Structure 1
């Protein structure tokens, strides 16, 4: 299946509904060809509206949208070389799997004699060639979602769009299907724009994540960049959960800051900040708990201990407020009410710029 992946760019794009409901507020964004970029954020942040403007299902109020270097701002959806995979699958229940996958080909000028072969190729890409003559009702939810992906793929779009594609699947299927989507995208070199509110899903599939908040872009970066160096409190808490801890920067030297957390000293990158009161983000997995009392750390009390299978989750009462920690050791759990020493891992905590 030939790939003609294209870039997508937004320049000062705004979308307003009615007189004053701003859904997307003056955003600039460049999506490189052949990359999977996820729009991530809470409900109402503008991510789905942004996706629909790429598809041509919504028109920008202001600004310019380009696909493959061509201005498509005013083009209807039918004139844009994009395909969209919806949350609801949107399969025709009375049509077989291959008829569903062939549907778009029949209306796109594809040679009639090649339609079935092309549709079978598409089903082969998602591992469903043997299911061609079944009805959607005879498939699992994960299989139906893969049919929807095949239907989009056979049109060989410049850009493939996914709108919350896994939200109707259970946890195990979500993991399986997201891996399949990522594998297909990488194997075919597709440009994919993917919308989700699930931060773990975004971290798992993306080359780049665009975190959105209040109709604007909060931060753009790779999954690791966003996890390890969030731009602010919102991104820190939204990507991977974080404890926000008040601290005092006592000194800065060579880009490294010496911070004080209720008497516990810790050294980390200053991120351009100077001496004074600041906030640091600490991932739950980057908290170290030691049963032995030590001056190098904070004395804290375990107020809640929860076993979740692969790890223990602890709620801690500390001099800097209630914190949340996770430990992999599920066999030697710390009991509720026990006092332990809390330290931060060598890597992980990060100062949050203003």
Structure 2
């Protein structure tokens, strides 16, 4: 299968979707650039799946415009939009073989049987299922069924490929492997892809950009690194990874930098438009450094909990800032409950929160 030369951008311009008095999507605007994978991320009920269905044409907007490339598809039905969707449930036909499932959309679009079969076989080869065409879906594992659903969508060579929680039915190890396969396929084929999930780790792993949604609106959008290191508000800080939210004092601001007092520690941080006074900061668990020895640039704290998790230790410490959650990769130096430690701050992972 060749690289997708039809891949194009998706634009939402002030889009609203209401179901009666319930507003599912509230005046949102964004652009998904061609040949990128963008994830709509958020908790259940935030509007992410409705947004995906508005791209597909499975729901029609109440207000605003939807564009695919330069074409306004706001009132275009789903059957006339050049998009394909991979559903959470896979939606494979149980009475058809794997090859017949993959070729189904090609047959419906009027492609000759021989060409449809050849493209379907190419699609199966692409997702690592060459030789599986004669099997029934029931003879495949969950991960294999998901790959069949991806192949069925890919062979149509759509302008936009949509994924609706595609990995939610898979176990944790298989989710990691299949998400890597989806990302590799998207990059190799150059498709524009929109991916919906509530799993933050999944979003960070597969995305060029992430749109975080809350209560039918966009809370923040940006690259995975931007969202993790520069969360716009407390919701994003706590939804994208773990974060300790603490009260701090901004002593003074010098342009883009601020002198900040965090407990007994003084630190220089990006000011993010804030002024001197009381503020909040988000501290990532891995940015808290524990030492059994007292330190002049640390805060004396007590270890309340210590949990061994194979690849790292997790601690809860009682500090002058309150209880803090700490992730520490130093397995050989585990600290016992009840010990007194000094808590220092790493150079990265501490951010002022702009409410």
CA distance in 2, matches of 1:123, 1:349: 46
After superposition, where does 1:302-317 map in structure 2 within 5 Å? 302-317=303-318
* Higher mean displacement: 339-348 or 247-256: 247-256
- Structure 2 partner of 1:291: 292
How far did 1:309 drift?
Answer: 0.9
1:109 pairs with 2:110:
yes
CA distance in 2, matches of 1:116, 1:311: 49
CA distance in 1, matches of 2:226, 2:268: 20
- Structure 2 partner of 1:119: 120
CA distance in 2, matches of 1:155, 1:109: 12
CA distance in 2, matches of 1:40, 1:252: 33
CA distance in 2, matches of 1:114, 1:346: 58
After superposition, where does 1:62-141 map in structure 2 within 5 Å? 62-141=63-142
- Structure 2 partner of 1:154: 155
How far did 1:257 drift?
Answer: 1.4
- Structure 1 partner of 2:256: 255
- Structure 2 partner of 1:61: 62
Tell me the secondary structure at the aligned position of residue 131 of structure 2: helix
How far did 1:176 drift?
Answer: 0.4
How far did 1:338 drift?
Answer: 0.8
CA distance in 1, matches of 2:240, 2:343: 23
* Higher mean displacement: 247-256 or 214-223: 247-256
Tell me the secondary structure at the aligned position of residue 331 of structure 1: helix
How far did 1:141 drift?
Answer: 0.7
CA distance in 1, matches of 2:36, 2:8: 9
Tell me the secondary structure at the aligned position of residue 128 of structure 1: coil
How far did 1:267 drift?
Answer: 1.8
- Structure 2 partner of 1:222: 223
CA distance in 2, matches of 1:119, 1:344: 54
C-alpha offsets along residues 206-264 of structure 1, whole Å, 9 cap, x if unaligned? Answer: 00000001100111100001111111111111111111111001122242211112222
Tell me the secondary structure at the aligned position of residue 131 of structure 1: coil
Report the aligned-residue RMSD. Answer: 0.9
CA distance in 2, matches of 1:304, 1:264: 23
- Structure 2 partner of 1:164: 165
Structure 1, unpaired ranges of 5+: none
* Higher mean displacement: 145-154 or 318-327: 318-327
CA distance in 2, matches of 1:296, 1:68: 53
- Structure 1 partner of 2:181: 180
Tell me the secondary structure at the aligned position of residue 344 of structure 2: strand
How far did 1:111 drift?
Answer: 2.1
- Structure 2 partner of 1:240: 241
CA distance in 2, matches of 1:110, 1:156: 13
1:340 pairs with 2:302:
no
Tell me the secondary structure at the aligned position of residue 182 of structure 1: helix
- Structure 1 partner of 2:7: 5
C-alpha offsets along residues 42-73 of structure 1, whole Å, 9 cap, x if unaligned? Answer: 11110000000001111100111011211111
CA distance in 2, matches of 1:109, 1:339: 72
Normalising to structure 2: TM-score of the pair? 0.98
Normalising to structure 1: TM-score of the pair? 0.98
Tell me the secondary structure at the aligned position of residue 333 of structure 2: coil
Structure 2, unpaired ranges of 5+: none
After superposition, where does 1:40-55 map in structure 2 within 5 Å? 40-55=41-56
- Structure 1 partner of 2:301: 300
Tell me the secondary structure at the aligned position of residue 272 of structure 1: coil
CA distance in 2, matches of 1:348, 1:82: 39
Tell me which stretches of 4 or more aligned residues in structure 1 moved more than 3 Å.
Answer: none
Tell me the secondary structure at the aligned position of residue 201 of structure 2: helix
- Structure 1 partner of 2:26: 25
1:207 pairs with 2:208:
yes
CA distance in 2, matches of 1:330, 1:93: 48
CA distance in 2, matches of 1:73, 1:146: 30
CA distance in 2, matches of 1:111, 1:297: 71
